[in-house]
Structure 1
Amino acid sequence: MRVLGLSSGTSHDGIDAALVSFTRTPDGDELRARLLHHATTPYEPKLRSAIRKALPPGKVGLGAVCALDTRLGQAFAGAATAVLDAAGPADLVCSHGQTIFHAATDGTLQLGQPAWIAERTGLPVVADVRVRDVAAGGQGAPFVPVLDLMLLAGREGRWGAVNLGGIANLTVAVPGEVTAYDTGPGNALIDAAALAVTGEPYDRGGALAATGTVRSELLDRLLVEPYYARTPPKSTGKELFSAAYLDGAGGYPPADLLATLTELTAATVAAELRRHRLDHVLLSGGGVHNRTLLDRLAARAPKTTVHRSEELGLPADAKEAVLFALVGWLTWHGLPGAVPSATGARGPRVAGSITPGAQPLQLPHPMENMPKRLEMQ
């Protein structure tokens, strides 16, 4: 089965798309995934500006939210058709959409109306994937453990996975100790500061941070954030770690500010790697391109060997899109898309709602058992 996964993360810089072919082995224990095509479609500047204005602490009216839902749906439809034109047909699309608000107690909102995707592609679309987990008492995040646990199954040593997106999240894949949660800011505060002080959307390669000095008084003040001390399950987003979070952090030279925020991400992620005594961690997400961040992470967690997800056949920039291709496959076959021990839900739930494509909706007979392993081919 060929599934097209679509995602736009908390960095809201564009739409990642991954066309994945899934084949389950006859014994049902292993799911083999072949990444056929991966592409990123940047948001055009006016749309990215509209997203930024809608994110907390911005305040927009319902008319603006409705218009943004439509514009994002059209953008996701365009990204989908571009991949299908380049790489051939698919059987299903799974679209995560763009998170605009996420606070599990008050709900979670991803925009990007799936009907536009179904209309343009003629394919059924799985979307709105987080809400069912929230309704079952969960955080609706993180979703990535369903991929991480299958990908790391059976490996020797104490393994974990970290995705360095706008928000950083950790999956602990140690048998008997499985957990996952957002550790705090990944690139969110670094990017916000880079935009404010340089006009660029991010600190390319961590180059500016590398020339700065970590200001210990600012770092210590930031590390007092109560979120870090909360017990999992927990998730967060730009409702907390927005540009407004840096109010009062002005007055520092740009390089020092970025060095300190880079150290904050490294410190908060490394603390969790040490807490779980991980031997190995698999890294993915946009943060893997920040050399300064990776160097500081390695310095703060010297007992943990860092691996890029490419070592297991999964391009770091494609992971979120591959994740939602997998979630789509699971939903289509009646299998749960989130890990309750990570989200805090009362139990496993099939994720999302399905918008029919051009043909009548015909679901296969539900599968009874989850695959235990995922092999990227």
Structure 2
Amino acid sequence: MTESQLTTVMEAVPEPMLHIDGQGTIQATNAAARALLGEWILGRSYAAVLRQPGLLGRIEAVQAEGQAGEARFELADSAGGIQFRVRISVLPEQGGRDRTSGARWPILLHFTDITHLREAEEMRRDFVANVSHELRTPLTAVLGFIETLRGPAKEDAAARDRFLSIMEDEARRMNRLVSDLLSLSRVEAAERMRPSDIVDLGAVLDGVIAAMRPAAEENGNTVELLRDGLARPDDDRLRALIHGDRDQLMQVFLNLTENALKYGGPNKPVTVRILREEGSASLKGPVIRVDVIDRGDGIDAQHIPRLTERFYRVDTHRSRAMGGTGLGLAIVKHIVNRHRGRLRIASEKGRGSTFSVLFPEA
């Protein structure tokens, strides 16, 4: 293959590629390599361009031995670095080569971005660590109470009843955690498949309000639904229709409304408002927006960007005491993403919070 043919082939490859001759000079590059490393690299020594001992050592070995190899290459950036797997292939010269001559082999470097694999591995490790931590606490408590009931409190009826009640609470907490983990797994698996059914979001919210009203009244709260510019569900002309999965939409707004009641506090009204408006930015055209508004203590601005992370809690002790698993808003985020919607959070200390969900209108 001639140099021009090799360059043509390299330009057709979307990943960065470098051709290095036997003298260690970069003889050819493609557009992706120049974008990654700079326009100046052509004709330069590979050692001056790449500058990472692990990769340089592997290149030297491949050029000397004529056997393909792999190495890692990392570029630092503001997001924390991009990591590449570099495949080093030998390019035999026309007419063959005398391996006893001591001449070095020309090679081809192919860079593959594996940053996402590293990030996925880090997420997996964090997830396993978080789940282990969340389960360890209730399991330790249950095992401790069992040991106590078998020993010092064996004949103490009052202690037995108290410990059994706590054990039941901890078991229910573990059950909620497992249920939320399964729910999150199902939602993530289906996230790329957009729902095709037509759902009336107003009717979904009617069901949510009806389901949450008894719990709200028990704590002296009220939950009201406001329809700004929307007619009642029996008016076919102005129903809030979107492409959606009704069960998942119920899950979203049950979760947001339950959170508003929990963290809003007793004797604080919760408002669910649905309206139609024009979208903006990446969500063009008419959209249906639902606001879930509480009048609680609010959330510090520093916490808002992280609220949808798995197991992230503003107040860990309070969340666990209320039965929270730390997965609810992560589930909400993935369901909203599946529906091609947007989740927005606004809060002010001492004035409550507003969780807004926007969906494209059908």
- The verdict on a shared fold, with TM-score over 0.5 as the criterion, is no
Q: TM-score, normalised by structure 2?
A: 0.23
Larger Rg: 2
Structure number having the greater helix percentage: 2
State the structure with bigger RCO (CA 8 A, min sep 6), 1 or 2: 1
TM-score (norm 1): 0.22
